[in-house]
């Protein structure tokens, strides 16, 4: 068989490379398209209101562009119609409260800036051209510095910072342009009308067409945070007393951990709660009873929930500590701990249900069952004093002394070896001395670094180390019960200030459902647990 031409081989190889490249490019394109579609669909499924808001923005922009597209409207407003488009893009927010806040800030800032600019222009006209320029420059400096300094005031920064920015922008545009343009009054009127048209369209879309209320979002967020904390506590305790050993190689990442998901929203909610409360304060009453809810009370409740969430974070940390109590020891306290967690979960879910339904919580939310579970846990802890006090104190001291003596002997042998090698003067001794010095420098470098293995061995040599991690876990569980009182007090205060309806034991038959956490082989949760109002 003859040898083929090398050029033919090169052509075949290049063709194969091109085909492979095309296939890979096609696969990458398909993957990118599928990933984009999944992202788009996921965003809509998470909150369908996003789709309606996008449509409202598109429709609003179409309306304001009619000022440009329709000839009669364009002749009446002119090039300033672009300000209406800018107003819709900037002002129309997701919730009605945010739109009202921005719209009123923009309108108020524009009105005040225009009034002040015309006053400055009226005074400047009485002077000559040079003095007029000096007067305008001085006015721009003074007003700009004063308005910027006002932005640092907490109340102004919180409520009217956007209005101050619009005030500065409008004032400088009118004042500076009035020096060169003679019909500045007409331009200002046209811009004010177009901004008013844009704000009017934004308010119409936000308040009357599928409105999204900031107050309702804050209300639902509070309910969700209570439910998330309840599910986290239950899942955490069930995971701690799970019979199977956790395989470290199969552990889920933290972002996928259902326990972490439950309390993450609580810890990250401070800024969101304050923003929603601020926007809700701008919204008109929109409920059936037509009165304002105390949004700042929701913020206070959120602060208390964050402090409660810190305890849940610490409980979750007990699952991941390096020193773990044997499961045979945990089993001695399993039942009382699970009952305490179940009662705390039940109380949190009942609080969430009361806020969700705008009613006051049950007077029996903290029942005798929780008190009895705490008593049983205390009795179980007292029944095992050897685990926490150390019954074999002599052996413990012996282990500690033996560990210390071994360390001392190792150190003395090293020092002795170094001193003997230093008195030798032959060549072999010199080489040994140099190698010994190298080893000593290496050991000194190791001493400067943390040695977790040695630390863990020394800790495990203590007799009470097995029960110490569980003592921390039980202490945090009791702390959660103590902080539950603060949460209940804030919810009751919210019910009083917001005029929630009274709890009626005959009508408010609440069934609290604890969802089973998705944790593999975790112990099953108690489903369909009735609250104390239904017992």
- Which of 1.20.1630, 4.10.860, 1.25.40, 1.20.58 is the CATH number of 214-242+255-388+463-498? 1.20.58
CA distance 201 to 103: 10
Residue 191's nearest CA partner among 338, 345, 78 is 78
pLDDT score at 457: 56
Determine the Cα–Cα distance for residues 224 and 394; give it in Å rounded to an integer.
Answer: 53
CA distances from 58 to 45, 83, 195, 517 (A): 20, 17, 18, 41
Q: What is the pLDDT of residue 279?
A: 92
- DSSP letter, residue 359: B
User: What's the pLDDT score for residue 417?
Assistant: 45
| pLDDT, tens digit only, all 535 positions of the chain | 445 566 777 777 777 777 777 777 777 788 888 888 888 888 888 888 999 999 999 999 999 888 877 877 777 676 777 888 889 999 999 999 999 999 999 889 988 998 898 888 888 877 777 888 888 899 999 999 999 999 999 999 988 999 999 999 989 988 888 777 777 777 777 778 888 889 999 999 999 999 999 999 999 999 999 999 999 999 999 999 886 554 444 455 555 678 888 889 899 889 999 999 999 988 887 665 556 788 899 999 999 999 999 999 999 998 888 878 888 888 888 899 999 999 999 999 999 999 998 888 887 777 678 888 888 888 888 887 777 665 444 344 444 444 444 444 554 455 444 443 333 344 455 456 556 666 665 555 555 444 444 555 555 555 555 678 888 898 999 999 999 999 999 999 999 998 888 877 666 654 444 444 444 334 434 333 333 333 3
Cβ atoms of residues 187 and 181 within 8 Å: yes
Using a cut of 0.85, tell me whether the model's pTM lies above it.
no
Whole-number pLDDT of residue 322: 80
pLDDT at 273: 92
Of the candidates 326, 329, 333, the one whose C-alpha atom is nearest the C-alpha of residue 245 is 326
- Quote the CA–CA distance of 89 and 325 in Å, as a whole number: 58
Query: Among residues 231, 113, 96, 132, which one has the least CA distance to residue 171?
Result: 113
3-state secondary structure 311-344: HHHHHHHHCCCCCCCCHHHHHHHHHHHHHHHHHH
Q: What is the DSSP letter of 241?
A: T
CB crowding 179-211: b at 16 or more within 10 Å, else e: eeeeebeebbebbbbbbbbbbebbbebbeeeeb
Contacts of 165 (CB under 8 A, 6+ apart): 109, 151
Q: Measured on CA atoms in the order 481, 485, 486, 490, is the torsion positive or negative? A: positive
Burial class of residue 268 in the structure, from the number of CB atoms within 10 Å of its CB (0-12 exposed, 13-18 middle, 19+ buried): exposed
**Residue 39 confidence (pLDDT):** 85
Q: Is 183 within 8 Å of 29 (Cβ atoms)?
A: no
* Angle between helices 270-282 and 295-318 in degrees, nearest 10: 170
Instruction: Please state the domain extents for the chain.
Output: 49-208, 214-242+255-388+463-498
| List of residues 6+ apart from 99 with CB closer than 8 A | 91, 92, 93, 202, 203, 205, 206
Q: Please check whether residue 326 is in contact with residue 384, taking contact to mean a CB–CB distance below 8 angstroms.
A: no
């Amino acid at each position: 068989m003859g040898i083929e031409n090398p050029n033919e081989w090169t052509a075949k190889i290049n063709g194969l490379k091109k085909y492979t490249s095309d296939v890979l490019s096609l696969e990458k394109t398909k993957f990118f398209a599928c990933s984009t579609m999944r992202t788009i669909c996921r965003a809509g499924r998470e909150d369908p209101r996003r789709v309606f808001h996008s449509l409202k923005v598109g429709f609003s922009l179409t309306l304001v562009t009619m000022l440009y597209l329709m000839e009669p409207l364009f002749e009446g407003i002119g090039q300033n119609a672009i300000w209406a488009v800018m107003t819709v893009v900037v002002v129309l927010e997701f919730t009605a409260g945010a739109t009202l806040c921005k719209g009123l800030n923009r309108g108020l800032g524009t009105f005040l800036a225009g009034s002040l600019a015309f006053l400055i222009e009226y005074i400047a006209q009485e002077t000559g051209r040079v003095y007029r320029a000096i007067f305008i420059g001085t006015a721009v400096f003074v007003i700009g510095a004063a308005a910027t300094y006002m932005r640092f005031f907490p109340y102004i920064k919180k409520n009217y910072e956007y209005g101050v920015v619009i005030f500065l922008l409008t004032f400088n545009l009118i004042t500076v342009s009035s020096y060169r343009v003679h019909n500045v009054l007409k331009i200002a009127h046209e811009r004010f009308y177009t901004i008013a048209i844009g704000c009017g369209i934004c308010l119409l879309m936000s308040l009357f067409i599928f409105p999204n209320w900031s107050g309702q979002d804050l209300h639902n967020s509070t309910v969700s945070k209570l439910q998330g904390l309840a599910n986290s506590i239950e899942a955490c305790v069930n995971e701690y007393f799970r019979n199977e050993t956790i395989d470290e190689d199969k552990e889920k990442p933290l972002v996928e951990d259902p326990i972490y998901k439950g309390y993450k929203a609580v810890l990250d909610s401070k800024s969101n709660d304050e923003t929603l409360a601020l926007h809700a304060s701008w919204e008109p009453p929109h409920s059936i009873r037509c009165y304002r809810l105390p949004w700042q009370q929701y913020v206070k409740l959120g602060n208390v929930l964050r402090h409660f969430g810190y305890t849940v974070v610490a409980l979750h940390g007990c699952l991941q500590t390096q020193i773990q109590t044997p499961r045979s020891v945990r089993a001695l306290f399993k039942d009382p701990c699970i009952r305490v967690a179940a009662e705390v979960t039940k109380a949190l879910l009942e609080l969430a249900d009361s806020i969700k339904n705008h009613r006051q919580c049950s007077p029996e939310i903290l029942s005798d069952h929780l008190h009895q579970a705490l008593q049983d846990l205390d009795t179980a802890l007292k029944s095992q004093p050897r685990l926490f006090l150390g019954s074999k104190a002599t052996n413990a001291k012996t282990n500690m002394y033996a560990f210390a003596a071994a360390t001392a002997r190792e150190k003395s042998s090293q020092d002795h070896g170094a001193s003997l090698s230093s008195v030798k003067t032959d060549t072999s001794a010199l080489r040994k001395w140099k190698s010994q010095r190298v080893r000593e420098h290496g050991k000194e470098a190791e001493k400067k670094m943390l040695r977790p293995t040695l630390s863990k061995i020394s800790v495990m040599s203590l007799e009470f180390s097995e029960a110490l991690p569980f003592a921390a876990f039980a202490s945090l569980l009791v702390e959660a019960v103590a902080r539950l009182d603060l949460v209940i007090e804030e919810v009751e205060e919210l019910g009083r200030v917001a005029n929630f309806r009274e709890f009626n034991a005959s009508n408010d038959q609440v069934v609290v459902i604890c969802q089973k956490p998705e944790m593999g082989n975790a112990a099953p949760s108690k489903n369909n647990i009735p609250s104390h109002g239904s017992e």
